[in-house]
Chains A and B, each alone.
Chain A
Amino acid sequence: MYSEYHKTMQRLKASGLRLVETMGKIPFLNLLIYKESPKKDKFELLETKEDDSEDDVINEHKVVKEKYIYSDIKANLKRIREDFNIPQNSDVIIRELKICGYIDAFLVFINGLIDKKILNEVVLKNLMSGTRGMDYEEEDLVDAIAERIINVGIVKKHNLFDRIEDFITNGYCALFIDGYEKCLLLEMTAYEKRNIEKPENEKTIRGSKESFVEDLPTNISILRRLFRNKNFIVEYMKIGAENNIGCAIMYVKGITNPEILKELKKRINKVKSEAILNSGMLEQRIEDNKWMIFPQTLNTERPDRAVSLLMEGKALVMVEGSPCVNAVPITFFDLYHTSEDNNLKWQYGSFISIIRLLGVFMAVFLPGFYIALVLYSQEMISSELLASIAAAREGVPFPTIIELIIMELAFELIREASSRVPGSIGETLGIVGALILGQAAVQAGLVSPILIIVVAASGIANFVIPDYSLSLAIRISRFFFILMGYMAGFYGISIGMFIFFVIMCSVKSLGVPFLAPVAPKLRTSPDIILTKPIDKMNYRPDESNAVKKLKKE
C-alpha cells in the first residue's frame, strides 16, 4: 500500500517537473517559473582613481597558435603560398629576387594595397642593385637592409607567420631572405579612397564642413589636426574573427576615466563575430542592453563633434571602413545637442535648443494627443475648433485611428523612399509624396486636412532631432503613443509616458544613466537644455566621471 502511494507520488512529482520544464521553454510562461536570479556581468561606472592600463590589447585579443618563420626560404615560400591560397588568390603577389647578387629572397604583397611606384623605383631597385658589394658575413644582413638599403618610412621586423600575414593583408610588403629567421615588413600602403567631403547627415550653418571618410588613418589624422595634444591616445585593435578589420580606440589620457577604457576594451575583446563590417555592427555588440530602443552610443561623422566629445571625457571607437566614430558613454542630452550649439552665442543656442525640445515633444506625442482628444476628450477642445475638426472629418470613410495610421505609414514610406534614392530624385520624391499625394488624399475625401497637419507637424518635428538613431527611436515611440491614445485616451498616454520614461531612466551607456545629469541629478555645466555664456561652462559632464572635472586649470 505504502509503496503504491510512494510510486504515485513519484510519478506526480516527475510529471510536475516535466510541466515546469515545458513551461520554462515558453517565453511568457518562463516568467512565472521560479529561478535563482542569474549572475550578470554588469558594469557600473563608479568613482575611481586613475589607473592606466598598459595591456597590449593586440596581443590579448587574439590567442592563436603562432609559428616562427624558417631560415630556409623555400619552406617560407611554401608556407606563404599555402596560407594565401596561391595561385587561386590572384592578387597576392610573390616577387622572387636575388640580393647581393646571389642571395635568394622574395617579396610578398597584395596588389592594389601598396604603392607600386615605391615598390619599383625604391624597394626593388635598391634591393637588387644597392646591395651589391655588401659584406653579409660581417653584419646582420636584415638589419643592414633595414638601416641602409630600403628607404621607406616604416620598417618592422617579425618572425611570426600570423603577424606577418596580418601586416600583408593591411598593405605592408614582406621581405623574406634566405638564411634569416626574420622578415622585414615595409609600409608602402597606398590604395584608392574617397576624398574628405561635407557631412551628409549632420549639417551645420557655421560649423566645420569636413567629415570622416572610410580610411582609418585619414580619420585619425583629421582628429590629430584638430586636437593637437600629446595626451590624445590612439590604440589599435583587431576585430572580426575572419575579416580582421582595424579598429581604433581614442581618448585623452588624464581626462577620460580609465575604468571606461578598461570596460570598453573588454567588450570589444569579447566580440567573437566572424566579420565586423562597420561601426554599426560593433556598436550593437558593445552596448549595455540590446533590448532597449534608445541608442547607447553616439555616432557622428563630424570630426569637430568627435573632438568636443573627447574633451568631455568620452572614449571614441572608430572602425576601418566606416565614415563615422562612436562615442561612449553617452546620455540623452549628448544625442540631443548638435555640434553647432557651442558655435553660437548662448542666447541663440538656448533658443534653438528650446525649439528642438518642442520638436522632440511634438514628434513623440502630437499624433497620440490628437487621437486622445478627438476620440475621448472632445469636451477639452473649444467649440469652434471642435466644429472645424468635425467638419473636416465629414465624409472621411475611415475611423480616425485607421486614418492616422495610414497617414503615418505613408509619411514613413515617403521618408524611407526618399532616403534610398539618389539625391535629386529623393528631394523630388519628398515633394511629390508630401504635397501632391497629401493634397490628392484630402480632395478624394480619404483623410481630413487637420490630420495632414498633425502628421506633417510631427514629421517635421522629427527632423529637428540631430541624431539618426534617436530619431528612429522616437519615430517608433510615436506609434506606441498613438496606440495608447487610441486604447484609453489621455489615461493611456499617461501610462505610456510612465513606461516610456521608466525605460529611459533604466537605459545605461557603459554604466552611465541615459537621462543623467537630470535623472540622476549630477553636477555639470549648464548646457542641458538652456546654455549659458561659454566662460560659465567650466565643468565636464559629471556622468562621464572624467579624471579632471574642471575644464580650466
Chain B
Amino acid sequence: MNEGKVGNIEMICLIVNAIVCKAFFTSVAAVIQKVGTAGWYMTLISAAVSLAVFGLMYIMIRAYEGKNILEIYDEIVGKKAGRLLTLVSCMILFLSASITLREFTDATNVYLLHVSPPGYIVGMFIIAMIVVCFFGIEGLARTAKFFSYILLINFLIVMVLSIQHYQIYRLYPLLGYGLGNTVKNGIMRSSAYGEIILIGIFAKALNNTKDAGKIGLKCLILGGLFIAQILFSVIASFPYFTAAELADPLYIMVSLIEYGRFFQRVEVIFIFTWNLSTLIGLTAIFYGAVISYCHAFDIKDKRPIIISFAISIYAATLIIPSITIILDYVVPTLRDYGWVGFYSPIFIAIIIWFFFKRGKQTYAEKS
C-alpha cells in the first residue's frame, strides 16, 4: 500500500473536512438545544480547548521528532501500555466514524434517497472508503485539497444566498442560557474538534513533523470559523426553539433559498458539498483508526484490516435501530464525553513524559 507524503495544505484540508463534516447533521440542533442562541460562539470555546490539548500533543511531537503520536506513546509508556493508549484512540475514531456515518445515512435517507434502505447507503459509502484507503493517504489528502476549494466556494455561495433569511434579532439573547452554561458546554463539547489527533497519527506522512504545530493551529482556526459560521447562519435564520428541533437545519436553510424562479433549487450544490466533505472527512477518520489498529498489533499489511474494519463500521453504523436513539442518546454522549477518548491518551502520555522522560531526554541530548 502506498503511504506517500502529504503537503501541509493538503493535511489542513483533510483535517478541516474531518472536523467540519459533523456540522452538516444533527450536531447543530444539539448545540442549540444545549446553549440556545450562544451556540455560534460556544463552538469557539470548544476549539480553544482543543487547541490547548493539541498544544500538549505538539510538545510530544517536537520532543520525538520524526515519529507519529502512536510511536511516541510507545516510547513514553512502553509498548504494552502504549498499545492500550493507541487502542483507545483507535476506538474513539472508530466510534466517531460510525456515528457520523449513521447521522449522514439518516440525513441522506430523509432528504435524498427516500426509499433506499440505510444498509444500501452505508454500503456504498463503505465501498468508497475501502477503495480510497487502498490508494493510501497521499491520494486522499490530494483529493481533499482538490475538492476543498470547490467546497469552500459552494459553502460561501450557500451562506451568501441564505442572507435573505437572516434576522439579527434571532441572535438575542446573546448569552443564550447563561454564560456559565455556554462555557461548561463549550469545554465538554471540545470533542467536536477531537479529530485533530489525526495530525498526530498522520504526522509521519508530513514532510517535516515539526510542521504539525502550525497545521493543527490552522485546522482548529478554520474548523472553528466554519462551524461557528454554520451555527451563526442557522441561529440567524430560524428562531432558536425551531432550530433546536430540526434534524438537519442546514439543509432546511438551503432549501429555503429563493432568488427568482431559477435560483430556488440550490440544494443540489449543497448535496455535493455535504456528501464530498463527509466522504473525505470520514475516510480520513476511518484511515486513522486503521493505522492505529495496525500500529497497536504491528500489522504491516493494512489491506485485510481495511476490509474487516469497514465491515465492522458497517455493522456498528446500522446496529442502532432508529434515528431517535441516535439523536437522544448516542450523539449527545459522543459529543459530551468523546473528549475522554480523544484526549485522555494525550493527557496520560504528556504527564508521564513530563515527570519521567523529559529529564532523561534532555540529559541524553546534552550528553
Contacts and interface: CB of A to CB of B under 8 A. Distances in A.
Interface residues of A, number: 35
5 contacts: A32-B308, A490-B275, A495-B128, A502-B140, A518-B146
Contacts of B139: 502-503, 505-506
A489 interface: yes
Nearest to B279: A498
B271 interface: yes
A490 B276 CA distance: 11
B365 interface: no
Given A505-B143, A520-B7, A488 B307 contact: no
A506 B265 contact: no
A368 to B, nearest CB: 13
B354 interface: no
Residue among A488, A490, A498, A521 with max Cβ neighbours from chain B (10 Å): A498
Interface string A492-506: 101101110111011
B176 to A, nearest CB: 35
A519 B143 contact: yes
B57 to A, nearest CB: 26
Contacts of A494: 271-272, 275-276, 279
Interface string B241-271: 0000000000000000000011001011001
B143 A498 contact: yes
Interface stretch (B74-82, B130-138, B315-323): B130-138
Interface in A492-549: 492, 494-495, 497-499, 501-503, 505-506, 513, 515, 518-521
B142 A488 contact: no
A521 B265 contact: no
A502 B131 contact: yes
B272 A380 contact: no
A124 B9 CA distance: 73
Interface in A217-246: none
B180 interface: no
A77 to B, nearest CB: 58
Interface of B: 1-2, 7, 9-10, 108, 112-113, 116, 120-121, 124-125, 127-128, 131-132, 135-136, 138-140, 142-143, 145-147, 261-262, 265, 267-268, 271-272, 275-276, 279-280, 299-301, 303-304, 307-308
A491 interface: yes
Contacts of B108: 491
B182 to A, nearest CB: 35
A129 interface: no
A497 B150 CA distance: 13
Nearest to B302: A37
Contacts of A489: 112-113
Contacts of B143: 498, 501-502, 505, 519
Contacts of B299: 34
A501 B147 contact: yes
A32 B300 CA distance: 13
B103 to A, nearest CB: 15
B136 to A, nearest CB: 7
A489 B276 CA distance: 14
Interface in A447-501: 487-492, 494-495, 497-499, 501
Interface in A268-305: none
B124 A490 contact: no
A502 B276 CA distance: 12
Contacts of A519: 10, 142-143, 145-146
A288 to B, nearest CB: 11
B262 A31 contact: no
Nearest to A383: B261
Given A31-B304, A382-B261, A519-B145, A376 B112 contact: yes
Residue among B113, B135, B143 with max Cβ neighbours from chain A (10 Å): B143
Given A36-B301, A502-B140, A380 B268 contact: yes
A35 B116 contact: no
A44 to B, nearest CB: 9
Contacts of B280: 498
A376 B127 CA distance: 21
Contact of A35 (B112, B272, B301): B301
B294 to A, nearest CB: 11
A499 B143 CA distance: 9
A492 B132 CA distance: 15
A521 B7 CA distance: 9
Residue among A31, A487, A494 with max Cβ neighbours from chain B (10 Å): A494
A8 interface: no
Interface in A32-65: 32-37
A528 to B, nearest CB: 13
A495 B124 CA distance: 8
A514 to B, nearest CB: 10
A377 interface: yes
Contacts of B267: 380
A502 B271 CA distance: 19
Contacts of A518: 146
B113 A488 contact: yes
Given A37-B1, A382-B261, A488-B113, A499 B9 contact: no
B10 A520 contact: yes
Interface in A371-408: 376-377, 379-382
Given A32-B304, A34-B301, A494-B276, A502 B145 contact: no
Contact of B304 (A33, A379, A491, A499): A33
A36 B304 CA distance: 11
Contacts of B136: 506
A488 B135 CA distance: 24
A161 B5 CA distance: 51
A491 B276 CA distance: 9
Contact of A495 (B10, B125, B262, B268): B125
A506 B304 CA distance: 21
Nearest to B3: A37
A488 B108 CA distance: 10
Given A380-B265, A491-B271, 15 more contacts: A31-B304, A31-B307, A32-B307, A32-B308, A36-B301, A37-B301, A376-B113, A379-B265, A380-B267, A488-B116, A498-B128, A502-B140, A506-B135, A520-B7, A520-B142
Given A37-B1, A492-B124, A499 B142 contact: no
Given A36-B301, A495-B125, A515 B276 contact: no
Contacts of A490: 112, 268, 271-272, 275
B112 A36 contact: no
Nearest to A514: B142
A202 to B, nearest CB: 28
Contact of A505 (B1, B146, B268, B275): B146
A494 B262 CA distance: 23
Contacts of A35: 301
A490 B268 CA distance: 8
A520 B141 CA distance: 9
A506 B2 contact: yes
Residue among B1, B9, B303 with max Cβ neighbours from chain A (10 Å): B303
Contact of B135 (A32, A382, A491, A503): A503
Nearest to B273: A494
A463 to B, nearest CB: 26
B207 to A, nearest CB: 11
A502 B272 CA distance: 16
